[in-house]
Structures are given as C-alpha cells and as structure tokens.
Amino acid sequence: MRTLAFQMPDRGGGPSGPRMRVGRPSRRARTLLMTMGVLAVLAMLFIMFAGFWTDWLWFRSVKYSTVFTTTLWTKIGLFAVFGLLMAGAVGLNIWLAHRLRPPLSAMSMEQQSLDRYRMSIAPYKKWLLLGIAVLVGLIAGASAAGQWKTWLMYVNGVTFGTKDPQFNMDVSFYTFDLPWYRFLLGFGFAAVVLSVIAAAVVHYLYGGLRVTSPGARATAAATGHLSVLLGLFVTLKAVAYWLDRYGLAVKSSDFKAADNWTGLRYVDANAYLPAKTILVAIAAICAVLFFATLWRRTWQLPVIGFGLMVLSAILIGGLYPAIVQKFQVQPNEQAKESPYVQKNIKATRDAYGIAGSEVTDYPGVSQTDDRTKLRPLADTTASIRILDPNIVSPAFQQLQQVKGYYAFPSTLAVDRYSGQDTVIGLRELNIGGIPKNNWINDHFKYTHGYGVVAAKGTTVGAEGAPDFTQSDLPSKGMFGTDFEQRIYYGEQTKQYSIVGGPQKELDYSDDKGEKETSYQGDSGVNLDSPVNRAAYALTFNEPQILYSGAIGDGSRILYNRTPKDRVEAVAPWLTIDGAPYPAVIDGRIKWIVDAYTTTNGYPYASRTTLGQSTADSLTNSQRAVVAQENQVNYIRNSVKATVDAYDGSVDLYQWDTQDPVLKTWMKAFPGTVKPKADIAKPLMDHLRYPQDLFKVQRELLTRYHVTDPQTFLSGSEAWAVPDDPTTKAGTAVPPYYLSMKMPGQKEKDQVFSLTTTFTPNERPNLSAFMAVNADPGTADYGKIRILKMPTSKPPDGPGQVQSKFQSEPKIAESIRLLRGGDSEIEYGNLLAVPLDGGMLYVEPVYVRSSGLKYPLLRKVLVTYGGQTAFEDTLEKALNVVFGAEAPTTPVPPVQPPGDGTVTPPTIQDPTVKAALGDAQKAIEEAEKARQAGDWAAFGKAQEDIKAALKRAIEAEAKAATPAPSAPSAPSAPSAPSGQ
C-alpha cells in the first residue's frame, strides 16, 4: 500500500490543500497600474499604427496605393495562413501527446522528479498550450510574410517559352515555381521537427517516454505518435530529393572554367542525378516503414530503414559522384564537360541579353598609308567628348553654384540635345551650405534647388572652362526660361521638407535680393489632420511637427525625395540603376531612372553579384546599384521610370515588352506599369542604354564572348576589364558615352553609344573594343558590337597608352611646366575610337590651380598608330597626329601658383615682358571678379588672359626664329677646358 503513494491517478489535476494568503495591493495602486498598462498598450499600438498610416498616406500621395494594398494583404494572408498552420500543427501534437499519456506512471526516481513539473504546470496547461502555439505561429507567420514576392511570382507566373536542356521544363518552373515549392518544403520540415520536439517533451513529461525507468522505453501510444511524425519527416525528405533533381539545373558550383558556374556538369548528370532518384525510392520505403510502426509497435525496421537511407546518402550521394569525378572526368575533362559547357554558354548569353553580340575581327592598325586622308574621317567617325563629366563638377560648382546652399553632384550626366553630346547637372539644395542650420531653415525655408546647368561635351570655353549652353540663376540658354526650374526631388535631397503652409520658402537669390515662394504642387502628404501630424511627429522623431505654428492650412510634408528611393518604393520588385540622370522635357525637369527585373533561377546561366559587376572607378554610395549584394543570373532593363523634379510624380513604362518576369509583376500589380506606347517622343529622345546593365554584360563577355566550349574551357581567350589608367585606385575603367560610328554599323550617321575596352588576362595590351547602340531612336538600339584585336600583334591597351603619354619626354616636360607652383594635373576620360583599322585614343588634361580651385582644360592628348600629340585643342592635336599640321613648339606656359600670382620666366624680349605683365594683371582681375561673384567680369578677364598669353607665345616664337646670314669663315679652335 505504501507504493501507491508514488502513483498519480489524476495526471491533470493541481495541488490541493490550504493556500498561503499574500498581501494584495490597494485599489488605488491597482487602478494606477491598470491605467499605466492600458496607456502603455495604447502607446505601442499607436507606434505600430503610425508606421502603417504614414506608409499608406505616402503611397496614396504618389497614386500607387494598389502597390501598398496588394503587398499588405499578401503579407497578411501569408502570415495568417502559415501562422495558423504552424500553430495548429504544433498545438495539435502537444494536445495529442497529452491525450495519449499513460494513466499511471512507473514507480521510479525519474518519474518522482517529473511529478513536480507536472504538478507545477497542471493549472496552466491550457494557457501554456495556447502560448506555445501562438509563439510558433507568430514566428512562422512572420517568416511566411517575408515570402510575399515568391508567392506573387508563383501565382502570377507566365511562361518563358524556353525549356531547359536537361529536364525539358519551361524556365518559369525554375524562376517562379521551384522557389515556392522549396519554401513549402522548408515550412513542412520546420512544422514536423517542432511537432516532434514538442510531442517528445510532452510524452517524456507524462511518462510516455522513459529514459531510466524500468521496462519499455516508450508506450505503444507514444511510439505510434512519434513514428507517424518521423514518417512525415522522411516523406518530406523524399520530396526534397525529388526537387533536388531539378535544383541541379540552378545549382552553383566551383568550376575552373567560370566563376559562379550554374547548371549540371558531367558528374551531376551521370552521378548526382541518378543518385537523387535512387534516394527518393529509399526515402519512400523508409517512410512506409515508419508508418507501419502503427501496427507493428516496434522501432526495429524503421531504424534499420533510416540507417540505410543515411548510408545511401553518404555512399550514393557523396562517394559515388567523387569516384566518377576522379576517374572519369578528370582524365578527359574537356571531352566530358564540353556538352555541358555548351549548354551553360547558351543559357548565360540568353539570360544576360548578350546572345546577339556581334564579334568581328579588327586589324588594330591603320589600313591607309597616307595618314593625312584620315583627318576628315576622324571628325565623321566620332564626336569626341573632351569635357569629362567626372572631373568638371567643381567647375560647375565654382562658376554656377552662385550660393553656398546649392550643389552639383560629383559626377555629372551625359545626354544629348539637338544632336550634341551635353554634360548636364542640376543645382540641387545643399543642406550643409545653409548659413544657419535650425529646424525652420532646414525643413521649411530651404526646401529646393533651382535651375539646370549644361555645357557642350565636345568643346570648351575660355581658358578651358566649360562652354555653357544653359547657365545662371534663374537658368537661361538652350532650354530657354519658360520651364519649371525648381528642384524639390533630387539625388542629394534626402531630408524631409514641409511646404505650402504659412511659412514662406526661399526660392532663389539674385542682384535684387531673395525671392520667396510657396509650393503649389500636389505632392507630399497633407498635415491638416492632427492624426497625420502626430503620426509624422512619431515617424520622424520630431515632436515639433505636432505643435509648431509654422505648420497650418495647406502644409504638406515631402519625403522619400531621391529618384531611386521613390521608384524602389512604388516598385519594390525592381532593381534600380545606380545613375539616374536629369533631362528637360516638355517644360519640366524629369529624372530618368533605369530599372531591371532580375532572377537567380535561370537554369544553366552563371550567376553574378551586381555590386561587384557594376563597380568601377566612379562607384560611390550615390552611384551604387540598388540591391548590389544580390546574386542574379538573369537581368533585363525592362522598365524606364521618370520622377518629376517638382512634384515628385513617378511614372513607370514598360520597356522590354517580351520580358516574362516583368509580365508576371504586371499581373501581380495591374495598372502600375504603363505600356511602352505611352512613352512620348520628347522623353524617348533622352532615353539611353543603362550603364549598370552594360557593366554586367561586359563582365560576362570577358568569358562568354567565346562560344566554342573547348576554347572556353582552355581559358586562352579570356579577357579582363582594364583598370582605370587615369586613377591610382586600381578599379575598373568606367564605360563612356559618346556619339560615334562603329565599323559595320547600319546607320550612316554617328550614334549615341556606350563604349568600353578589354585587355587579355594579366596583360596590358588591347584585346577588344565593345560598343552598344545607346540611342532608342535607332533600329539597332541595344546592339552590342565587339571588335576583336589580333593576338599576334595587339595594339596598346589603355594602361600602355597612359604610360606612353606620361613617359614621352616632351609631354612629360610640358606637364611638369603645367603643374607650375602647386597646381594639380587631372587626366580626363581616356576615350578609345576605332578608326580605319586602328585605335584612336583621346584624353583631355585638366589643370587645377590652388587659386581657382577648379579644373580647366589646358591640353588634349591624342595618339594613333604610334604618333602622339599634346596640344591646346582637340582640333590641333588631331591635325598633328594625322600630319595635317606641325606640332606647336613647346613654350613654357605661365601658370598661376598657389597665391594666384604669376612668376614669369626670365625673358629679355620687351614684347614678351609686356604681354606677361598684361596676363598678370588679367589674372588678378579674374580672381577679384571670382571672389565678388561678378561672372561677367570674370569671363572678360579670362579672355584677356588668353589674349595676353597668345601675344607672349607669338613674340617668343618670333624671337626664337634665326635671321638668315651670310656664310661665315671657319671658326678658330676652341680654347682648352680650364683656360
């Protein structure tokens, strides 16, 4: 009878007997605590509401509320469905394990210890069950909500019309279906594993599983319950093995032939694929054995089956493929791998849009004996851009900034207007330049930039300054003045502004003083409502928004103001190019943003990391591609987007009408992307081939220009993107826009193009030149042409050309003189142009003196066929290189040192002295005009400097010319040295 004291007939009851009375808080304290708790809950709810509400208001303000609602309801639906499934699965198995507990526990020390835990949780069993179910449901629901893109692509996916070469499945299966199946499989594994753990804990707690107790280790009920769960786990493993078969087509692997190789190789097709099929059958048999435990009530066969499955996975799935690779593939790798390499080449070229690349042999040397005949050909072949948008921003800043609270981007844009390559930038607001920073100034008074500044790309003005075609404030010139010049949305406009209310904004300043304005657009979110003000005060952590008197009727808050941020927000399924650019279109300033659809599930296509492929010597945080860490193996420039610089309106236009990924997203978000036919001609004239796509394609073409698998495997024809020779950073040379005519081009005239060069791996020579037609107004838009140089006698590459420029004695001496006191030399873009079988290189040379603080174009370097010229103008340099004109006699130029004064060389000729004196006076006048902001006087002084230096050079050349003389008598012998 004594032993009965250790038995617990009621496994669900709680403790009985007298309870200790504990002092309770007073009613006032309880009321206070309850009030504080309610307020805390309300505060948390309002914080959550504020984020949701401000997002909704913003999407509604840009007229893309359907994007917000579709995304929100998709997330809510996934959260609810999968959260409930996970909570139900785990909760059901906990309840079932408790229901199947044995009525009596064994008499053992183990069970006596567990009795204490059973008794302590007995009163809270229902709440504990509910809490665990809710917790795992919330975690699973949140994880599922993050798969909203995967779900939308799965339910809206359209076919590619292309099938993979191994399984004959449409590409859409791998890009849209397989990711969703993998998510479902992962969710199933998580649900089963959590259920097994939860059920095992409950069975152990209530005696269904025993570790040290005498007798059987598990009751029949616990055995049956857990065996079913383990059978489900093994069933899912069989499904996983089956999906792994298709996963081989998109599997990344290390392969010496190519980085980030994707797709099946010989060992995959002949070892891994059959192994996976065999493992499916073994796993299915093992699952049946686990389910059979319901009747046999023994673990013997399932354990044997599971051990067999694990052993098979090691031998069949691991050891056998290694043997095939070692003894079949390696001895004859090229023959074995060639068919699979061919599939990879084709898929990669298709996925990245480089299948239509046209590779032609190019001699690399001139085909014309008389070089003078090439001079006119140089003019018709290319409009060579000598104004480098990556260098001249400080000149725009110094000459056109006007006020310290304006700024231009460090890298300007290249566009074309009236057939002329043009460098263009916007005078954006610079918060750091505001005279006094405070909340009113930063967010109410200084709210926008003002004006467009543009300059010719192929010519320069006085003394090498930009030849402006649109300038001043308000800006005037080629665009006129009758267009909206205010810039409320720009690349550097990252702070929020509150406009349109009682607080007036600074519009711009001129000689008559400051002009004020009040925003008239319908952009932004109205702050009339106290709820809106409270929500934004919380969102921006700025309490003054709630009570400031500067906010009143008509006040609107503007935020998410950079073009990239706005496009990414309204189309979160797009990858955004790193270089938006402005254009003046129909009286408005529009930001043009290139956007891409991508996937990493294109079978057999090798992957690339966007951030690595698009990096070059100009890449910075402002120009980096959005989602740069993403790995992709399919990319299309499927959308052209515009953002109005005044009202921030965003328009998305379908560009690639054949892209299945874009069609899928257009089904998911109907009405968000306008058809290509809606692109008006004024906008079409300013669209161009995007830089980031070009950089991804050129990176792939270093290897995938080769279509023969044997050559691809050998790596003998692999190329590299050269480092930028004009910098010391060791980063890739950026691609350059210029209007040019390629050999074999259909168009008779020059075409706006994007160009780059290639070198052989580990060698500095030029191996190829690549250009893409960047003008959408032509029939060959997007056509990639590659000129392949001979491997026996390749022409010089960019690095070699730069080295020869700098090592040429006369050029080196001239550059030394240009440096003067503490002036700096900056090399502009080294442009390469194919010309008559050879390569013409052109590089502008800028001088930045400490007095002027910005670079001026002083010289142009040109080389062709071993001939080099270093002249003041491009025209002169081309004439010299092609023998149409003699080179200029080197004359030491006069450069202002750091203090702005000129120290002329020792000159005896009075005319030269007078001219240099005039130059000194003109430089002093220019510096005074610059400091006073008198740009008209500054321009006149620059012309005076140029005229004075010209007189000095002409006088010096005249003095250096020897006068004719009669023959002289033989001279006497020279005296010995030292006498």
Dist CA 546 CA 531 (whole Å): 9
CB atoms within 10 A of CB 958: 11
pLDDT at 975 over 60: no
pLDDT at 689 over 90: yes
Burial of 67 (0-12, 13-18, 19+ CB in 10 A): buried
Task: Check residue 706 and give its pLDDT.
Answer: 93
Higher pLDDT, 270 or 905: 270
Task: Check residue 181 and give its pLDDT.
Answer: 97
Higher pLDDT, 941 or 373: 373
Dist CA 510 CA 457 (whole Å): 28
pLDDT confidence band for 2 (50 / 70 / 90): very low
pLDDT in tens, 784-815: 999 999 988 889 999 999 888 888 888 888 88
pLDDT in tens, 630-682: 889 999 999 999 999 999 999 999 999 999 999 999 999 999 999 999 999 99
Higher pLDDT, 426 or 622: 426
Locate 653 and state its tokens.
């236009």
Dist CA 449 CA 485 (whole Å): 8
Dist CA 813 CA 807 (whole Å): 10
Dist CA 765 CA 26 (whole Å): 89
Dist CA 305 CA 311 (whole Å): 10
Lowest mean pLDDT among 17-26, 153-162, 638-647, 825-834: 17-26
Dist CA 922 CA 941 (whole Å): 5
Task: Check residue 688 and give its pLDDT.
Answer: 95
Q: What long-range pairs does 821-827 form, CB within 8 A, spacing at least 24?
A: 821/850, 821/895, 821/896, 821/897, 821/898, 821/903, 822/849, 822/850, 822/897, 822/898, 823/847, 823/848, 823/849, 823/850, 823/895, 823/896, 823/897, 824/848, 824/849, 826/391, 826/855, 827/725, 827/726, 827/802
Cβ proximity of 292 and 224 under 8 Å:
no
pLDDT in tens, 144-176: 999 999 999 999 999 999 999 999 999 999 999
Mean of pLDDT values over 263-271: 92
pLDDT at 600 over 90: yes
Helix and strand totals (H; E) in the chain: 29, 35
Task: Check residue 22 and give its pLDDT.
Answer: 45
> Which H or E element spans position 762?
none
Q: What are the angstrom distances between the C-alpha of 522 and each of 499, 504, 526, 527, 648?
A: 11, 17, 9, 13, 9
Mean of pLDDT values over 896-911: 47
Secondary structure class of 351 (helix, strand, coil): helix
Q: Which of 133-147, 201-215, 870-884, 904-918 has the highest mean pLDDT?
A: 133-147
Locate 634 and state its tokens.
């399919």
pLDDT in tens, 387-418: 998 888 889 988 888 888 999 988 899 999 98
Q: Name the residue among 786, 837, 740 with its Cα closest to residue 373.
A: 837
Question: What phi-psi label fits residue 885: left (phi over 0), alpha (psi between -120 and 50 degrees) or beta?
Answer: beta
pLDDT at 909 over 90: no
Task: Check residue 197 and give its pLDDT.
Answer: 94
Cβ proximity of 350 and 605 under 8 Å:
yes
Angle at the Cα of 732 from the Cα atoms of 726 and 736, rounded to 5 degrees? 70
Task: Check residue 120 and give its pLDDT.
Answer: 72
Round to the nearest angstrom and report the end-to-end CA distance of the chain. 139
Dist CA 340 CA 261 (whole Å): 11
Task: Check residue 14 and give its pLDDT.
Answer: 42
pLDDT at 781 over 50: yes
Task: Check residue 3 and give its pLDDT.
Answer: 39
Cβ proximity of 859 and 818 under 8 Å:
yes
pLDDT confidence band for 23 (50 / 70 / 90): low
Q: What are the angstrom distances between the C-alpha of 508 and each of 445, 448, 474, 483, 700?
A: 11, 9, 8, 15, 48
Higher pLDDT, 665 or 725: 665
Task: Check residue 658 and give its pLDDT.
Answer: 94
pLDDT in tens, 444-455: 999 999 999 999
Cβ proximity of 240 and 317 under 8 Å:
no
Portion of the chain with pLDDT greater than 90, in percent: 52
pLDDT at 629 over 90: no
Q: Name the residue among 814, 588, 634, 572 with its Cα closest to residue 59.
A: 572
| pTM as predicted | 0.84
Task: Check residue 966 and give its pLDDT.
Answer: 38
pLDDT at 852 over 80: no
Q: Which of 431-440, 469-478, 692-701, 727-736 has the highest mean pLDDT?
A: 692-701
Amino acid at position 762, single letter: E
pLDDT in tens, 304-330: 888 888 888 888 888 888 898 888 888
Q: What are the angstrom distances between the C-alpha of 798 and each of 133, 663, 756, 760?
A: 65, 42, 10, 12
Average pLDDT of every residue of the chain: 85
Dist CA 451 CA 428 (whole Å): 8
CB atoms within 10 A of CB 377: 15
Higher pLDDT, 865 or 940: 865
Maximum CA pair distance of the chain? 150
pLDDT confidence band for 463 (50 / 70 / 90): confident
Q: Name the residue among 365, 185, 336 with its Cα closest to residue 269.
A: 336
DSSP assignment string, 730-741 = --BPPPEEEEE-
pLDDT at 930 over 80: no
pLDDT at 10 over 60: no
pLDDT at 700 over 50: yes
Secondary structure class of 478 (helix, strand, coil): coil
Burial of 186 (0-12, 13-18, 19+ CB in 10 A): middle
Q: Name the residue among 660, 682, 691, 662 with its Cα closest to residue 674.
A: 662
Higher pLDDT, 347 or 45: 347
Helix then strand then coil, % of the chain, to nearest 5 = 45, 20, 35
pLDDT confidence band for 618 (50 / 70 / 90): confident
Task: Check residue 891 and give its pLDDT.
Answer: 44
Instruction: For residue 213, report the phi and psi dihedrals to the nearest 5 degrees.
Output: -70, 150
Dist CA 179 CA 174 (whole Å): 7
pLDDT at 223 over 80: yes
Nearby residues of 326 by Cβ (< 8 Å), 6 or more positions away: none
For tokens 């090229």, name the residue: 334
Beta strand segments in 357-431, E: 358-361, 382-383, 406-407, 413-417, 420-426, 428-429
pLDDT confidence band for 56 (50 / 70 / 90): very high
Task: Check residue 900 and give its pLDDT.
Answer: 39
Task: Check residue 933 and give its pLDDT.
Answer: 54
Higher pLDDT, 627 or 421: 421
Locate 125 and state its tokens.
């069993």
